């Protein structure tokens, strides 16, 4: 039987963080083993005081079990302060392939340690899974300072932080006011047009911008004296399309500013949001193209979006935009590359299919911003939201990967664990794009979840379906609904790449009326889904057991008769 106690315990097996004692000693806060410099010059280790009192670390020893560095006499760490040790020094040079970072007190007792890469350390101070590989410019950072489990738990082993990346940790916000909910393809363009038409300042961070309908609204804003800043991915998968090149050039010529995101910090700028004036955010799962924002009555992608009007949330999002904007590369018309893809096809007509109108909701909301990769893998964000499910968990995704390299997908494992705990879990995946062509796609995942439900007697709790329906090009959504109360709306795909390496943006928002809206859309798609999937790539011919028994009996009878005949013939 598969036993999944908790997604966190799958990440760090056998550890109960709640049982760990609070930290009363200095800890290794972060270290950089593989700087981009000759002979790895620039390595460092930070020792941090997480307590509320001064700590004298005079004579403490830092070691990698090859060299030893003694901290000078008179070194006092104030509360919440750190002490930086520059390396290489005193025989300590952290190996890029794997090593030990160990802090001993002046009596040579273990204080703290961190183990990474290919190290085979099995001594005091560390147990279980070790930290990952020391990629160039990767900083290993301890993210939780209130517990010490002597494991990878507090280091967030699936998260990778690289020098120069942001580290935004927006707090939960509760606010009263108006929120507009909408879905693609039904009403997304209408809502975005409405917001831009009333704007004087528009700041956009988007992966793709290929919609000429949205372009017209942006140019109209510039013509009436407005301000437009667009941050966009300069190297999308498959290259920039001819349509996007023309749109960006037109916006620049009309007075807007366009910058390509800094690909040295993030693999892809995959976010999909806009800031309007001084208090409005519009974000969702879809790109600014004809699939995500199709003309009225046209076929497009299934996605979720939301418009939020709140000053505090706007401030958080504005800080993120400003950081990425400052790192961006300004583009002139002459800097734009030659488009490498043909123009976007016009969407087909979808008249006659169910259409969900946008809805304005006035009420109380609680919201948590999800910023990838900053907090997208933190235990308190998406993982905690899934783990919080008590009754229902509805998941609609473009695709889900079961494995993330050598690790299990923590989002998926949390969902499976919820089903194990009696929660009704429905997983809805795309089958209309390229998500069923390979050996590890949505059809295989659908089979895996449904087989697991059968094996573990979870048929009433866990089911996965593929969507193939008229009026929708593909499922491009990345959404979750928990207990009819909390909804995740985001750009984050459920593969390792998206939350680990990309700039992504989402929001977990709590409000029953808002959740009811997305639930209605989800169940409509669900009821048009299918559980049957294609056969495995190779199949074995099977024979009915009764037929097999009859064949064996006939063979035995035949052998007996032949022996009898031969016996008589020999006499």
CA distance 64 to 300: 56
| pLDDT score for 20 | 57
Fold match flag (173-335 vs 369-530): yes
C-alpha dist (Å) from residue 494 to 8, 75, 153, 187: 17, 46, 21, 25
C-alpha dist (Å) from residue 465 to 1, 43, 389, 551: 23, 49, 20, 40
* CATH class of the structural domain 7-162: mainly beta
With a cut of 50, say whether residue 439 has pLDDT above it: yes
CA distance 495 to 161: 17
Each residue's pLDDT tens digit, 397-406: 999 999 998 8
| pLDDT score for 542 | 40
CA distance 397 to 409: 14
| DSSP bridge pairs for 82 | 48
Helices 410-420 + 442-455 axis angle, to 10: 30
- Strand segments (E) across 161-220: 161-162, 173-184, 201-206
Residue 205: count other Cβ atoms within 10 Å of its Cβ: 28
Pairing of strands 257-260, 392-397: unpaired
Helices 242-253 + 212-223 axis angle, to 10: 10
pLDDT-based confidence at residue 571 (cuts at 50, 70, 90): very low
| Residue 298 main-chain phi, psi, to 5 deg | -105, 155
Between residues 509 and 299, the one the model is more confident about: 509
CA distance 448 to 413: 12
Encoded tokens for 100: 């030990």
CA distance 211 to 292: 9
Between residues 564 and 452, the one the model is more confident about: 452
pTM: 0.88
Instruction: Give percent above pLDDT 70 in the chain.
Output: 87
DSSP label of 567: H
Instruction: Give percent above pLDDT 90 in the chain.
Output: 78
| pLDDT score for 559 | 46
| pLDDT score for 565 | 43
Sequence-separated (6 or more) residues with CB below 8 Å from residue 164: 137, 264, 265, 327
Between residues 12 and 318, the one the model is more confident about: 318
3-state secondary structure of 136: coil
490 close to 505: Cβ distance less than 8 angstroms? yes
| Residues 460-467, mean pLDDT to the nearest whole number | 95
201 close to 276: Cβ distance less than 8 angstroms? yes
| Residues 454-483, mean pLDDT to the nearest whole number | 93
With a cut of 90, say whether residue 415 has pLDDT above it: yes
CA distance 327 to 323: 7
CA distance 50 to 127: 22
Chain position carrying tokens 């809206």: 517
258 close to 221: Cβ distance less than 8 angstroms? no
- What is the rounded (10 degree) CA torsion for 470, 475, 476, 480? 130
pLDDT-based confidence at residue 540 (cuts at 50, 70, 90): very low
3-state secondary structure 70-93: ECCCCCEECCCCEEEEEECECCEC
| pLDDT score for 337 | 86
Sequence-separated (6 or more) residues with CB below 8 Å from residue 442: 399, 400, 429, 430, 431, 435, 436, 466
| Residues 75-96, mean pLDDT to the nearest whole number | 96
Across 101-110, 340-349, 514-523, least confident range: 340-349
Encoded tokens for 314: 């706007």
3-state secondary structure of 555: helix
Each residue's pLDDT tens digit, 150-199: 999 999 999 999 999 999 999 999 999 999 999 999 999 999 999 999 99
CA distance 22 to 221: 55
With a cut of 70, say whether residue 489 has pLDDT above it: yes
DSSP label of 18: G
Radius of gyration of the chain, Cα coordinates, nearest whole angstrom: 28
| pLDDT score for 539 | 36
With a cut of 50, say whether residue 227 has pLDDT above it: yes
Measure CA 235 to chain center.
20
Instruction: Let me know if 460 is exposed, middle or buried by CB neighbors in 10 A (0-12, 13-18, 19+).
Output: exposed
Across 368-377, 431-440, 517-526, least confident range: 431-440
Encoded tokens for 445: 């995942």
| Residues 494-516, mean pLDDT to the nearest whole number | 97
- Of 430, 418, 342, nearest to 387 by C-alpha is 418
| pLDDT score for 441 | 92
| DSSP bridge pairs for 47 | 28, 83
Encoded tokens for 346: 């016009």
Helices (H) and strands (E) in the chain, counts: 11, 30
| Residues 494-517, mean pLDDT to the nearest whole number | 97
Encoded tokens for 527: 């009821």
Question: What's the CATH fold of domain 173-335?
Answer: Endonuclease; Chain A (3.30.870)
With a cut of 60, say whether residue 557 has pLDDT above it: no
CA distance 381 to 509: 11
What rounded mean pLDDT belongs to the chain? 89
CA angle 529/533/539 to nearest 5° reads 175
CA distance 468 to 528: 7
Helix, strand, coil share of the chain (percent; to 5):
25, 30, 45
| Residues 274-289, mean pLDDT to the nearest whole number | 97
- Which sequence spans correspond to the domains of the chain? 7-162, 173-335, 369-530
Helix (H) or strand (E) holding 218: helix 212-223
Measure CA 531 to chain center.
25
* CATH class of the structural domain 369-530: alpha beta
pLDDT-based confidence at residue 551 (cuts at 50, 70, 90): low
Each residue's pLDDT tens digit, 344-377: 555 566 555 678 999 999 999 999 999 999 999 9
């Amino acid at each position: 039987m598969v036993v999944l106690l908790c997604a966190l315990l799958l990440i760090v097996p056998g550890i109960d963080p709640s049982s760990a004692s609070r930290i009363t000693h200095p800890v290794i806060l972060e270290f950089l083993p593989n700087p981009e410099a000759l002979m790895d010059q620039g390595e460092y280790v930070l020792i941090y005081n997480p307590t509320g009192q001064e700590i004298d670390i005079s004579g403490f020893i830092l070691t990698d079990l090859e060299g030893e560095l003694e901290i000078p006499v008179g070194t006092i760490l104030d509360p919440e302060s750190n002490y930086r040790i520059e390396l290489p020094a005193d025989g300590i040079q952290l190996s890029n392939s794997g090593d030990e970072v160990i802090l001993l007190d002046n009596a040579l007792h273990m204080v703290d340690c961190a183990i990474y890469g290919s190290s085979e350390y099995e001594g005091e101070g560390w147990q279980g899974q070790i930290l990952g590989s020391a990629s160039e410019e990767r900083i290993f950072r301890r993210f939780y300072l209130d517990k010490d489990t002597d494991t990878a738990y507090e280091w967030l082993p699936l998260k990778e932080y690289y020098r120069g990346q942001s580290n935004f940790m927006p707090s939960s916000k509760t606010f009263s006011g108006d929120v507009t909910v909408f879905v693609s393809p039904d009403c997304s363009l209408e809502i975005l047009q409405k917001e831009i038409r009333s704007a004087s300042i528009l700041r956009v961070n988007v992966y793709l911008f290929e919609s000429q309908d949205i372009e017209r609204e942006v140019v109209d804003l510039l013509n009436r004296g407005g301000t437009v800043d667009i941050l966009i991915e300069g190297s999308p998968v498959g290259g920039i399309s001819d349509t996007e090149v023309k749109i960006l050039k037109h916006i620049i010529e009309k007075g807007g500013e366009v910058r390509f995101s800094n690909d040295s910090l993030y693999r892809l700028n995959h976010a999909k949001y806009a800031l309007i004036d001084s208090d409005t955010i519009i974000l969702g799962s879809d790109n600014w193209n004809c699939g995500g924002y199709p003309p009225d009555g046209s076929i497009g992608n299934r996605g979720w979006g939301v418009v939020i009007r709140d000053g505090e949330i706007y401030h958080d999002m504005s800080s993120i935009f400003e950081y990425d904007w400052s790192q961006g590369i300004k583009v002139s018309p002459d800097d734009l590359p030659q488009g490498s893809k043909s123009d976007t096809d016009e969407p087909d007509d979808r008249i006659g299919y169910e259409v969900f109108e946008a809805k304005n909701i006035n009420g109380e909301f609680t919201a948590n911003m999800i910023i990838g990769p900053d907090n997208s893998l933190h235990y308190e964000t998406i993982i905690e939201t899934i783990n919080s499910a008590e009754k229902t968990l509805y998941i609609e995704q473009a695709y889900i990967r079961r494995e993330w390299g050598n690790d299990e997908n923590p989002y998926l494992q949390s969902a499976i664990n919820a089903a194990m705990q009696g929660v009704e879990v429905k997983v809805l995946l795309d089958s209309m794009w390229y998500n069923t062509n390979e050996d590890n796609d949505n059809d295989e995942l659908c089979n895996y979840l449904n087989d697991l439900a059968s094996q573990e007697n979870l048929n009433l709790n866990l089911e996965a379906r593929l969507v193939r329906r008229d009026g929708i090009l593909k499922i491009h959504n990345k959404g979750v609904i928990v207990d009819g109360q909390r909804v995740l709306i985001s750009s984050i795909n459920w593969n390792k790449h998206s939350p680990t390496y990309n700039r992504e943006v989402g929001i977990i928002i709590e409000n029953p009326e808002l959740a009811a809206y997305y639930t209605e859309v989800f169940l409509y798609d669900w009821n048009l889904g299918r559980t049957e999937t294609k056969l495995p790539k190779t199949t074995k011919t099977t024979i009915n057991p009764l037929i097999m028994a009859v064949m064996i009996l006939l063979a035995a009878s035949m052998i007996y008769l032949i022996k009898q005949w031969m016996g008589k013939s020999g006499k």
